Structure 1
């Protein structure tokens, strides 16, 4: 084997490179041609990627943007950059005329290509829809069937068969680039629909178009603005300005407001009706027309400046190559060796999805002037704080730092850090004030460049000041929570809110300890034990005793809530009492005690998983597989993780078990494939079972952290850790601290087919440990389950 081939395999070490080469050729020769063809070119749907992954390709070539578009994943499909403001992609409706709520669907008709999308959810955007059309123009009916669809990181293409026109898309941060290859036509058009929206309607979570204007500036320029409101977050009005410029002069142009198309160069409308414009052409066969569409939330002039600054020429392929290079760089902090083609695709696509949101809108804040970064589309922190935030802290610390600074700046100008935000409006708040955990996670992991005293003020306001509208900001039920130690049944989501607030208070106590505020550390550490105040130790269901239960305002028990998956008005939000009764990441030791001891706790967890109370499709249960570690059963954690990896995730269009929620689901997968998982808001990582023989992570310090797995086997038979070393020293714990890897190092795991006593003796930290993980001032309070649960009896 020559050196160039060794280099092309991107191996971590020469020894590992030889092993990986052997595995590569063995794998290539051990599968059928059909399987290889499917793996190389797409999934069961037969949809190819634009560039086949090769040994010399960067990590962006492994990204399969279609992964997760079906079965509820709702991931974005189209052209964008990491944290880009513009996410340019197709908007699809099914053959019965129902639009895809997130924009894309595998089947159906393409309505055009809009410039703003979320990823992993729905209920917002779909603004400034551009479409190429041939034949008589009817703005209400331009949708087309499609063929030859391809997508890769930073690029999308499709043939619109109704018009025999090839559409190609790429993007910069704030500009969408379109390249259309037309057939011969005396009646060709490029249309821009200003009124188009996803989830357009009059429902509580629908969006409405409330007016706008469009101007044909010349034979190759169109500009305008649309005004929109609503969506999942029930947000106020947001405005999207655009500037569209073509490289080809049009022979004519038209505008429309309402149903009538006119030759007027200006159109405007108030209210929810059609609004748009067209540039009209006579095209020859194979004629290419390019567009640049600048987007701004500030002004048309800013939209034009965005085009000039970010895409000054007409080199579509150059911009596309730059997008690919940007994605290669963003994905490069993690390198994996020994992965199958399918695993590599899963891993780097998950990493790609985790880097899509929030949206970097620095310089595009229409609400106030500030020198701080501005990010939007925290959609929602309730989803992302558990795993996506800790992942960004590791591999994109500058982005995470700027996003946190933006959260603090939103607090300065609007009064609260958001729990969710989109369209420049905070809301809706699903659970606790989870930005508190995001700040604490950064603090305990040593992230600098953040005004932690301002963050501390924001966190204390979350904990002390009831908001005017609790679905949009702050903590609902706060007066009862602070006076009684729990949210009562008089408020919605009282169960999930209580346990989440308790963890948020733990996060505040962490920062109080670090800043030397002993009184605040004491106060919030005490409240961090409030999770136990809803425990009814006599409530039995499913063979298990002891669950959280609603309490009336007078402190008496309300009837148990056995809803399988609650929503806004229920006791628990997007989970059940099996999940939320075990939500105390700050004190799993206390959970074990109140559950009756380790054996009872393991039985409870087994029952939860075996009777399918665990919901991999939703975030509240993300930590549950790891809870066995506190009971001395890391083998059980491993079994549950492997079960989820094998049954719930794949490299196909149906490869995610549920909504990706801004990369929340994908970041869970990234961590679990690497073999460890964060306890968000704490400096602790929990060891599971790696999916690769070797991986490297470039740490924020500039050093490299390696995970080396001895006796690795692809069938996951050797799934249990037999022994471990960290930085050359024996590691008997199934967990480690961020500080132990911050300056790089090596975690070496020796694997085997049967469990041993490794990792069984010292559990991860808990508040009720003999030595509290908090500072001495906070630890002086009785905050364990044994001291707080008496009030719940």
Structure 2
């Protein structure tokens, strides 16, 4: 998540500018591979290009020792370096003056303002940072900060240490619900511990500090308001010391205790936290930290991390890569967090105290839903199925308490930050990857209700039936709604995950319902531009579309979001014009990994699946090369070396873990794993079933990402997805790797990972592809340097399979590439006027019609698209000129897609079809319902311009009517919206002009069809021809 924009009803203070807007300002620095050069390397035979098998390296035996908590403490990753436990309540860590959101620590800073007890790793808004404690010497100054040097600082999993310039050494470690500190002061009578109780990252209120005894203090603070939301929580602490303090005092929201260290310089402290009560904090401290042995507590934390990290054992690779891997896994296991006390009590979302459900160890909180459903939830379930199961049960309890599942919650409060309905994907992901010890039937029932009944988690739910997408000009009400296009795609993903979860539990009805509704993504994809883009409720696309703009998107632009259909990549490819067009799109959007020119920003969630989509196009070698380039370019064993963006509660770190294993959980709600290539010679995963999955990378090396061949349990494996039983049953997946791309491995259509289309019939495929010159079939109509700025030259260039040469022949007579139109400059009509790329605007300067001899005639000028002097030189700019025929004006357009023709069957009754009464052809002939007979009067063609054609005419709303009861008739095709029909995922046919649905008022044969308000009934359900 990056500081999100807000929807209606939220305070202006919450309007943080989205970090993705920096994309527009970035140059090409840090851009990705030049894909064409990389992937066009000559391919040798598999055996020739593979590296020889290396002797097995020794497995890592102490992964916690390899963790570098300083990775991600700079460059906006917002991680923290302090002491913690896997999924623990306490994160005792230093804060610095810059105080980045959640993590609180910026490596570039040179002083520390306090060591606060709570942190969140990598959010986009301020969070936690509660109860900062700062050791000082001398006079009390609550504004104090202590300078330090990184040379005097160290951290590892579960422990942190720094020698401050004031001569105080601070050492921290933790248990799940408590922390322990060892402060070594100089010899002084004024060794202070300052409690900055109002110093939570979002400020504190209701602060209390009590001196319980000369060795014990307690207190509380209320904070929250994540991203400006209204949610709050209260955290309680109880701290004891191994020696009495000599003085204590309070000042407003601050307090201090002072020790005399002239007779002994070490002061040890233990602190318990609770979100229930002060008594809970005491109970947590006494249960988990009964003794004073700091070294033993630190060693116990180290062992706990080894147990967690050891679920994935690796062998070989450089120390830096091992450090990156285990640090990423460490970051992936920091959240969610235990919220319940050792007594089992926790403070719920309803403001009441509850007890952990029987059979579960703890309640959990802190869900960055929009982020973690893509990568972290699956990894959590794989390596910590007990925690994931408890988390799932906690989410269900949150739903029972409030009526909605958590979306982006902090402790016991919901913020409604970000969009979509991520709980469906998280719970389905948990279940798919082996975390199944929760009330699955109740969870499914809750998710179905949330997906079908108006609620705060799904603003705009009413639009999913009709028009079947969230419109640009819709009304959405509460709860931080923004980005209708992005949210439509998020809802589609949530619906698919819900469908998969229902299917896994045997609920076939809901499986089909939500698999079908997941196809609503199609309502956002303009077949003419090939991009997802803003659309009005009446079906029209908003004017002035620019694929690099962020209108109706969330932390990204249309370039990025167009690829975000993770459950149906094959369907997306077909809708864009085929695998070749889709591949060209990926080649272009992945020219950058850091957001340059509006292209992919793989440091933020909407882009992280893009590199894996080549697997679905018969080009897994591009996935292998691209993923390795991303690993090398935006990950490093440095403070700034985490993904070029927020870690988002481990979502980005989890991406790295999956990528290093050579796989990715591409399809939310399933355990489908798209394959890349492993980074290490061997990795061994201990699965929830107790079995192991071994991944061998023979010849693994930094410059050897390419799979030459693979086998599973000794048998050849030629698929770009993991064996379906590997996640549950284990086995051995072995790759032979090399430095040269093997373009034939797993390239067959049958080798692609699964795509899920539902039972919804897709609209006609667009007419898209290259436009070749009549002068030379090897030259193509091309956008100069793939530019998207208005005025970019359109030229001749050697055909090169880039997105700059993929043109869509749109139904409105335009030729479109890169989301814009082929345009005659300044609407010129004179010979020699140049053509260019320009925002589509509906003018005649952008209208082209096929002429004789393969010409393209501009309708505004009557002149033809012309290649000056019949040139074949790359970069020759095109123009318009008097139509004269010849090769200079001949253009070979992409082939027209196959028309779909057949009956349109009704859902209102058995064996009923849309029918042209009496087979007549006269304007005004009623369109009726009649028993299906296979005759010509029922033979409908679904045309590329969204018309339904039969008997030489179009299905038409009479008199362009927009009211209920408008009759439907046959009429001469005229290009008006009264004849435009859009199929929704629920089987409705929505009239573009009126927004009303085609309906059969009764099942009586001969009943004329009408337009009706879309209501989801059987009378409005239609099945188009395949």
TM range, smaller chain? 0.7 to 0.9
Q: Answer yes or no: is the 8 Å Cα contact 1:118–1:377 preserved in 2.
A: no
Aligned to 2:118: 116
Q: Answer yes or no: is the 8 Å Cα contact 2:102–2:119 preserved in 1.
A: no
Is 2:543 aligned against 1:547? no
Q: Answer yes or no: is the 8 Å Cα contact 1:216–1:223 preserved in 2.
A: yes
Q: State the alpha-carbon separation in 1 of the partners of residues 500 and 61 from structure 2.
A: 43
Aligned to 2:479: none
Q: State the alpha-carbon separation in 2 of the partners of residues 593 and 434 from structure 1.
A: 27
Q: Report the Cα offset of residue 77 of structure 1.
A: 1.4
Q: SS at the partner of 2:718?
A: coil
Q: SS at the partner of 1:601?
A: helix
Q: Report the Cα offset of residue 250 of structure 1.
A: 1.5
Q: Answer yes or no: is the 8 Å Cα contact 2:83–2:159 preserved in 1.
A: yes
Q: Over residues 468-525 of structure 1, what are the superposed CA-to-partner deviations in whole Å (9 max), with x where a residue is unaligned?
A: xx4xxx1121111233210011253100111111111112222333334343233212
Q: State the alpha-carbon separation in 1 of the partners of residues 429 and 545 from structure 2.
A: 32
Aligned to 2:27: none
1:21-100 equivalences under 5 Å are: 58-94=62-98
Q: Answer yes or no: is the 8 Å Cα contact 1:210–1:229 preserved in 2.
A: no
Q: Over residues 645-684 of structure 1, what are the superposed CA-to-partner deviations in whole Å (9 max), with x where a residue is unaligned?
A: 1111111111112111111111111111111111232221
Is 2:761 aligned against 1:782? yes
Aligned to 2:488: 498
1:167-182 equivalences under 5 Å are: 167-182=170-185
Q: State the alpha-carbon separation in 1 of the partners of residues 311 and 434 from structure 2.
A: 19
Q: State the alpha-carbon separation in 2 of the partners of residues 333 and 371 from structure 1.
A: 26
Q: SS at the partner of 1:238?
A: strand
- For the pair shown, the structure with the greater C-alpha radius of gyration is 2
Aligned to 1:725: 711
**CA 1:391–1:73: 2 relative to 1, 3 Å:** same
Which residue of the other structure, out of 456, 460, 475, is the alignment partner of 1:477?
A: 460
1:428-439 equivalences under 5 Å are: 428-439=416-427
Is 2:508 aligned against 1:521? no
Q: State the alpha-carbon separation in 2 of the partners of residues 81 and 432 from structure 1.
A: 30
Q: Over residues 92-123 of structure 1, what are the superposed CA-to-partner deviations in whole Å (9 max), with x where a residue is unaligned?
A: 105xxx77763111123211111010001241
Q: State the alpha-carbon separation in 1 of the partners of residues 400 and 635 from structure 2.
A: 41
Q: Over residues 331-372 of structure 1, what are the superposed CA-to-partner deviations in whole Å (9 max), with x where a residue is unaligned?
A: 001111111111111011111000101111133522341433
1:113-192 equivalences under 5 Å are: 113-121=115-123, 122-146=125-149, 148-161=152-165, 163-192=166-195
Which residue of the other structure, out of 195, 205, 209, is the alignment partner of 1:214?
A: 209
Is 2:104 aligned against 1:103? yes
Aligned to 1:625: 611
Aligned to 2:732: 746
**CA 1:754–1:187: 2 relative to 1, 3 Å:** closer
**CA 1:240–1:552: 2 relative to 1, 3 Å:** same
Aligned to 1:465: 453
Q: Report the Cα offset of residue 376 of structure 1.
A: 4.7
Q: Over residues 695-753 of structure 1, what are the superposed CA-to-partner deviations in whole Å (9 max), with x where a residue is unaligned?
A: 111111111111112233x242x322122111222211110244234222100112232
Aligned to 2:746: 759
Which residue of the other structure, out of 594, 610, 614, is the alignment partner of 2:591?
A: 610
Q: State the alpha-carbon separation in 1 of the partners of residues 731 and 100 from structure 2.
A: 49
Q: State the alpha-carbon separation in 1 of the partners of residues 549 and 647 from structure 2.
A: 18
**CA 1:565–1:102: 2 relative to 1, 3 Å:** farther
Q: Answer yes or no: is the 8 Å Cα contact 2:386–2:435 preserved in 1.
A: no
**CA 1:715–1:240: 2 relative to 1, 3 Å:** closer
Q: Over residues 252-278 of structure 1, what are the superposed CA-to-partner deviations in whole Å (9 max), with x where a residue is unaligned?
A: 221222xxxxxxxxxxxxxxxxx1322
Q: SS at the partner of 2:728?
A: coil
Which residue of the other structure, out of 295, 306, 319, is the alignment partner of 1:328?
A: 306
Q: Answer yes or no: is the 8 Å Cα contact 2:225–2:415 preserved in 1.
A: no
Higher mean alpha-carbon deviation, 70-79 vs 516-525, is at 516-525
TM-score (norm 1): 0.83
**CA 1:722–1:145: 2 relative to 1, 3 Å:** closer
**CA 1:72–1:228: 2 relative to 1, 3 Å:** same
Which residue of the other structure, out of 300, 306, 310, is the alignment partner of 2:284?
A: 306
1:218-257 equivalences under 5 Å are: 218-232=213-227, 234-257=229-252
Q: State the alpha-carbon separation in 2 of the partners of residues 740 and 19 from structure 1.
A: 22
Higher mean alpha-carbon deviation, 373-382 vs 234-243, is at 373-382
**CA 1:56–1:669: 2 relative to 1, 3 Å:** closer
**CA 1:228–1:145: 2 relative to 1, 3 Å:** same
Q: State the alpha-carbon separation in 1 of the partners of residues 237 and 205 from structure 2.
A: 17
Higher mean alpha-carbon deviation, 628-637 vs 521-530, is at 521-530
Q: SS at the partner of 1:454?
A: helix
Q: Answer yes or no: is the 8 Å Cα contact 1:627–1:637 preserved in 2.
A: yes
Q: SS at the partner of 1:168?
A: strand
Which residue of the other structure, out of 375, 396, 403, is the alignment partner of 1:387?
A: 375
Q: State the alpha-carbon separation in 1 of the partners of residues 659 and 92 from structure 2.
A: 30
Q: Over residues 518-573 of structure 1, what are the superposed CA-to-partner deviations in whole Å (9 max), with x where a residue is unaligned?
A: 4323321221110011111112xxxxxx111211122222235537474xxx4111
**CA 1:235–1:177: 2 relative to 1, 3 Å:** farther
Q: SS at the partner of 1:460?
A: helix
Q: SS at the partner of 1:684?
A: coil
**CA 1:708–1:494: 2 relative to 1, 3 Å:** same
Aligned to 1:351: 329
Which residue of the other structure, out of 634, 646, 654, is the alignment partner of 1:667?
A: 654
Which residue of the other structure, out of 263, 268, 273, is the alignment partner of 1:290?
A: 268
**CA 1:747–1:755: 2 relative to 1, 3 Å:** same
Aligned to 1:654: 640
Aligned to 2:198: 195
Q: Answer yes or no: is the 8 Å Cα contact 2:94–2:115 preserved in 1.
A: yes
Q: Report the Cα offset of residue 466 of structure 1.
A: 2.1
| Aligned Cα root-mean-square deviation (Å) | 2.3
1:352-371 equivalences under 5 Å are: 352-363=330-341, 365-367=346-348, 368-371=353-356
Q: State the alpha-carbon separation in 1 of the partners of residues 732 and 56 from structure 2.
A: 19
Q: State the alpha-carbon separation in 2 of the partners of residues 705 and 110 from structure 1.
A: 44
Is 2:570 aligned against 1:599? no
Q: State the alpha-carbon separation in 2 of the partners of residues 751 and 592 from structure 1.
A: 28
**CA 1:526–1:636: 2 relative to 1, 3 Å:** same
Q: Report the Cα offset of residue 586 of structure 1.
A: 1.6
Aligned to 2:442: 454
Aligned to 2:38: none
Higher mean alpha-carbon deviation, 637-646 vs 366-375, is at 366-375
Q: State the alpha-carbon separation in 1 of the partners of residues 624 and 71 from structure 2.
A: 25
